[in-house]
Amino acid sequence: MSQRLPGDQRAAPPAQLFHRGYYRNSYNSITSASSDEELLDGAGVIMDFQTSEDDNLLDGDASIGTHYTMTNGGNINSSTHLLDLLDEPIPGVGTYDDFHTIDWVREKCKDRERHRRINSKKKESAWEMTKSLYDAWSGWLVVTLTGLASGALAGLIDIAADWMTDLKEGICLSALWFNHEQCCWGSNETTFEERDKCPQWKTWAELIIGQAEGPGSYIMNYIMYIFWALGFAFLAVSLVKVFAPYACGSGIPEIKTILSGFIIRGYLGKWTLMIKTITLVLAVASGLSLGKEGPLVHVACCCGNIFSYLFPKYSTNEAKKREVLSAASAAGVSVAFGAPIGGVLFSLEEVSYYFPLKTLWRSFFAALVAAFVLRSINPFGNSRLVLFYVEYHTPWYLFELLPFILLGVFGGLWGAFFIRANIAWCRRRKSTKFGKYPVLEVIIVAAITAVIAFPNPYTRLNTSELIKELFTDCGPLESSSLCDYRNDMNASKIVDDIPDRPAGTGVYSAIWQLCLALIFKIIMTVFTFGIKVPSGLFIPSMAIGAIAGRIVGIAVEQLAYYHHDWFFFKEWCEVGADCITPGLYAMVGAAACLGGVTRMTVSLVVIVFELTGGLEYIVPLMAAVMTSKWVGDAFGREGIYEAHIRLNGYPFLDAKEEFTHTTLAADVMRPRRSDPPLAVLTQDNMTVEDIENLINETSYNGFPVIMSKESQRLVGFALRRDLTIAIESARKKQEGIVGSSRVCFAQHTPSLPAESPRPLKLRSILDMSPFTVTDHTPMEIVVDIFRKLGLRQCLVTHNGRLLGIITKKDILRHMAQTANQDPASIMFN
Amino acid sequence: MAALGARLCSLLLLLAALAGLGAEAKNSEDVRCKCICPPYKDHSGHIYNKNVSQKDCDCLHVVEPMPVPGPDVEAYCLRCECKYEERSSVTIKVTIIIYLSILGLLLLYMVYLTLVEPFLKRRLLGHSQLIQSDEDIGDHQPFANAHDVLARSRSRANVLNKVEYAQQRWKLQVQEQRKSVFDRHVVLS
């Protein structure tokens, strides 16, 4: 990948991965960056490298100075330029390119410097004191704003999605903005058996052809359903394609990568936020087999990113920004499920890479604020955050652990199957011509989903409604066909729990329909996750698990009724007692399937019991989730998000994997024996032109700086982007810098003959403390260092002399190779 | 910065509207007590809705007319389940209107960008400009002219051109994103 220097108007070679067209006007706008998109231009992020005391003594130079900035040592041309004496930071140095990894160590150092500076000035005046207080509290302000925005947007999404989903069926004539349930809310004509019929709600068949029942109206409703579903899907994918292509997909794999230190500019921007919110509603309303939880995490992180640009503490520091993003993702899950604690644990377990304790408290605060805002908007009309509130408290029995573990096994198997199938399909879409027609693909998937989903009443339902119905146990107040048991009508005594009853015909037909719904959902979710509209995975997985769980629950219930003299049931279930709760099986099944596909553990259990309020059922949930994780791990260690990260080739060094091979640093470092020698810069021997040629010819992201080619003693490390920006800025601003000017990385410039042009001092952009390991360091330790410190590259020395370099990409390739995967799939640095 | 300010203002307005309306004085139609009574003896199940306050939300106040005679009322009422519910119809109305208006604006803008703008440009600039620069050969996506406009418009510096400059820069970024996601399948596949 060759990087074009600004001013270079040659056409880029066709094999170039990243088009740098917008890099041409780097530093004309030296304003503080107010968004990610402006950082793309390199617009002025001021970075401040304090020069530290030099190891002058090693050079043999006896000058002793404490805070030299730049001097004019030994130059005959004695006019001291003002710029030399001021330690003027070059705008743009210290920012990162798109699709590159940040340097965590450098960002943390910057933050500590900033904090020290503010603290040292604190006692000077009241204004400085206020500034330091503002700085300390700005973190809390950012997470509060993020929580408020996430809650508000989640409320908007929920209300709009509910309305648009019901728009496929009909419309409320008295108040066009109400969905079905809200329309019939105040009506007195609802009956016990048909709780959702009321005269104000008209289906499309009634409006268009005037009939409410009959085959004609069924076909009309079918056609209108398909029409609306296709319309919404087409709108969603066109909006994504025209305005914000980054808004498609779930977002969680990319957010995981961003939180581990990767930069994707524009991924968390304003347009992505707006388009993701709008198209998420359309995608959910079109009946596709997707959920909105993953995209809500993306929306919350966008809010966090946008608000962090208002505060200089976070806008200029990529590491601090990621703390805010961790808190924002906790807020996202919190509003998606109504589970604040589960959200924090999800952020800790799944999304974040570094999670210091300070972030834990802030994430909890953000989640709480978001949940509070959502509750005050009250989208569900019952002051409840919880979508699937279960109200039963029947106990579970020890023998039921057997079917729960069976459900766990099903969850693990389904998770493994789904991950393999989905990745295979995504890979095919990525590399063959299937991927050339994204709009057509979305329309086809929506059409197939709508055509097959309409006839089955369980798939025609909104998926959240389906889950709620499956979680609800059959009490005396239920009248759906799932609760069509043969009641003993003579019982006149008041019983709170209905004993186990034999199933009526309604239940059997419901089980058939549920089986078909299960197969349909399993197949469609494989093709739906990953299409070019915002799509989440949580709700479809929970639906699949809930269907399977309910079927198993009804089976066990009937088994207990008809064979109540078997050993298990005789011990614990008496005749006439309410023994089995099929709703509980649905809950456990949902948790097992979700755990099998995402491989979450604690956070999943906490989310599910916060979702349902069923604290008594933690042990069955844990048993099922653990079983599904073990079964799933037997087939492959990765969850769905890690698998997508690997598919896209993101440079994500997984903290959960262990590296257990006995290779040494010398085996992994570059250059290998067959490669050209390491591209290095010397401390004061190179000219501007040499450096520019080196940058043009190679594609490395950084160059070690050594004292001289003979000694190979390490001075520091210079990044490509910083070099480019510094040289270009020098050519524009400083006088006398030409192609043959010497570039000096040392404290003092060497003595030059009188006619030579002014030397260029680039010490300020040099990283004086690069990490080094020796060539005999085991790779286990090297991988650990990279993980724990968040390094991008590490230099390898031998007997004190520079030998080579190991980058994060090399490590990822090496790990892929030792795991027998394709090392060429690692695409980014 | 101005765009961010405008966005922030609109977001805060939305927040204020939604949160404020959520806590507004309740519309009298927006509260109800819903009692569900299951079948009892030979009476079928029934649902009763009534607009009462929370302390009066029980079977005796809501179920009118009582279908069972006096001595059976207690047995009947014990089976019924009464729940107090409230909603905010104003919030729902405002939210749907906000959503549909944003959606409508986006649709109009999309139609403008994809259909109207290339048509206008072709008429204004004539056919010579149809020969694209060598990077955009075959690029029929919207924003294909962004490079040229970007280069030309940098010389002038009044407000309208700043807006156009920002718009062209945005179009370039979206084009990059589109290439990464849809054409090369490098990200988000």
Q: pLDDT for A103-117, tens place per residue?
A: 898 899 999 999 998
Mean pLDDT over A271-288 rounds to 95
pLDDT, tens digit (0-9, with 9 covering 90-100), for A757-771: 888 888 888 888 899
> What's the pLDDT band for A385 if we cut at 50, 70, 90?
low
DSSP labels, A176-228:
TT--HHHHTSS-S---SS-TT--TTEEEHHHHHTS-SSSHHHHHHHHHHHHHH
**A 630-689: CB under 8 A from B:** 647-648
Closest approach of A413 to chain B, Cα-based (Å): 24
Contact A25 B32 (CB under 8 A): no
Q: How far is A815 from chain B (nearest CA, A)?
A: 21
pLDDT at B188 over 50: yes
pLDDT for the residue numbered B140: 47
B178 with A245: Cβ contact below 8 A: yes
In this structure, whether the domain defined by A665-819 belongs to CATH 3.10.580.20 is answered with yes
Rg (CA), chain A: 31
Q: Which residue has the higher pLDDT, B114 or A828?
A: B114
User: Which among A632, A628, A630, A637 has a CA at the least distance from the CA of A656?
Assistant: A637
Among candidate residues A593, A792, A570, A803, the one with its CA nearest the CA of residue A677: A803
Whether the pLDDT of residue A284 is over 90: the answer is yes
pLDDT band for position A50 (cuts 50, 70, 90): very low
Interface contact A239-B142, CB threshold 8 A: no
Closest CB to B142 among A190, A235, A242: A242
The DSSP string of A729-752 is HHHHHSTT--TT-BEE-SSSPPP-
Q: What pLDDT does residue B152 have? A: 58
Percent of the residues in chain B that have a pLDDT greater than 90, as a whole number:
14
CB contact under 8 A, B135 and A21: yes
- At residue A210 the predicted structure's pLDDT band, cuts being 50, 70 and 90, is confident
Confidence class for position B150, pLDDT limits 50, 70, 90: low
What mean pLDDT is predicted for residues A293-316?
A: 93
Q: Is the ipTM of this complex over 0.90?
A: no
| Closest by CA position to A479, among listed A510, A452, A435 | A510
**Does the distance separating the beta carbons of B106 and A278 come in below 8 Å?**
yes
Give the lowest-confidence range in A159-173, A188-202, A337-351, A426-440.
A188-202
- In chain A, the percentage of residues whose pLDDT exceeds 70 is 86
Tell me, yes or no, if A497 comes closer than 8 A to chain B by beta carbon: no
Confidence of residue A402 (pLDDT cuts 50, 70, 90): very high
What is the least distance, in Å, from the CA of B23 to any CA of chain A?
Answer: 7
Q: What is the CA angle B145-B149-B150, rounded to 5?
A: 110
| Stretch A799-828: mean pLDDT | 86
Scan for tokens 């300020």, then name that residue. A764
Q: Is the dihedral of CA A27, A33, A38, A39 positive or negative?
A: positive
**Predicted confidence (pLDDT) at residue A141 exceeds the cutoff of 60:** yes
Architecture of A398-485+497-640 per CATH? Orthogonal Bundle (1.10)
CATH of the domain spanning A145-178+194-377, picked from 1.10.1200.10, 1.10.10.10, 1.10.3080.10, 3.40.50.300: 1.10.3080.10
Predicted local confidence at residue A581, as pLDDT: 87
pLDDT at residue A73 tops 60: no
Give yes or no for B2 touching A (CB within 8 A).
no
- Give per-residue pLDDT as tens, A592-614: 999 999 999 999 999 988 888 77
- Length of chain A equals 829
What integer is the mean pLDDT of B93-114?
Answer: 94
What pLDDT, in 10s, does the model give residues B16-60? Answer: 555 555 444 445 667 888 888 888 777 788 888 888 888 888 888
**DSSP reduced 3-state for A301:** helix
pLDDT at A27: 38
Residue B7 pLDDT > 60: no
Q: Which of residues 87-146 of B touch A (CB under 8 A)?
A: 87-89, 91-93, 95-99, 102-103, 106-107, 110, 113-114, 134-135, 142
Which chain B residues touch A12 with a CB distance below 8 Å?
A: 135
Q: Which of B37, B92, B170 sits opposite A159 (nearest CB)?
A: B92
**And the tokens for A667?**
């085996």
pTM to 2 decimal places: 0.86
Distance from CA of B69 to the nearest CA of A (A): 16
Q: Answer yes or no: is pLDDT of A621 > 80.
A: yes
CB nearest B91 (choices: A40, A163, A377)? A377
Query: What span, in angstroms and rounded, lies between the C-alpha atoms of A532 and A521?
Result: 19
Residue of B3, B37, B177 lying closest to A246 (CB–CB): B177
What confidence score (pLDDT) does residue B9 get? 56
Residue A429 in contact with partner chain B when CB distance is under 8 A: yes
Write down the number of H helices and E strands in chain A.
31, 10
Phi, psi for A478 (deg, rounded to 5): -90, 145
Mutate to test the interface with B, among A162, A241, A305, A480 (most CBs of B within 10 A): A241
Q: Give A186's DSSP letter.
A: S
Phi/psi of residue A179, nearest 5 degrees:
-85, -175
Helix, coil or strand: residue A251: coil
Per mean pLDDT, which of A183-197, A345-359, B41-55 is the most reliable? A345-359
- Residue with the larger pLDDT of the pair A575 and A660: A660
**Residues of chain A positioned with their CB less than 8 A from the CB of B63:** none
Q: Is A129's pLDDT higher than 60? A: yes
Provide mean pLDDT across the span A704-731. 89
Instruction: Write the residue in B8, B83, B187 that is nearest to A648 by C-beta.
Output: B187
Q: What is the DSSP string of A383-445?
A: S---SS---------GGGHHHHHHHHHHHHHHHHHHHHHHHHHHHHHHHSGGGG-HHHHHHHH
Give the residue-averaged pLDDT of A90-98: 81
For chain A, the domains span: 145-178+194-377, 398-485+497-640, 665-819
Q: Chain A: give the shortest CA distance to residue B182, in Å.
A: 7
Spatial distance between the Cα atoms of A32 and A317, rounded to a whole number of angstroms = 13
Beta-carbon count within 10 A of B183 CB: 13
Tens digits of residue pLDDT in A11-27? 434 333 333 333 333 33
Please give the pLDDT value at position A65.
36
CB contact under 8 A, B113 and A242: yes
Give yes or no for B74 touching A (CB within 8 A).
Answer: no
Partners of residue B7 in chain A, C-beta under 8 Å? 270, 306
Half-sphere exposure of A768 (CA within 13 A, CB side): 14
pLDDT at B132 over 60: no
> Cα separation of B189 and B184, whole Å?
9
Of the listed ranges A33-47, A256-270, A506-520, A724-738, the one predicted with least confidence: A33-47
Tell me the average pLDDT of chain A: 83
B78 at interface of A, judged by CB pairs closer than 8 A: yes
Mean pLDDT of chain B: 75
Residue B29 to residue A186, Cβ atoms within 8 A: yes
Q: Write out residues 335-374 of A within 8 Å (CB-CB) of B.
A: 373
**Interchain contact, B185 vs A430, CB within 8 Å:** yes
Joined together, the tokens standing for residue A783 give 């991988």
Q: Residue with structure tokens 């730049």?
A: A70
Asked whether residue A525 carries a pLDDT value surpassing 70, the answer given is yes
d(CA A793, CA A462): 49
pLDDT of residue A90: 75
Among A126-140, A225-239, A282-296, the least confident range: A126-140
DSSP string, A428-447: HHHHSGGGG-HHHHHHHHHH
Considering CB atoms only, which of A37, A159, A310 is closest to B96? A159
Least confident of A415-429, A490-504, A560-574, A729-743: A490-504
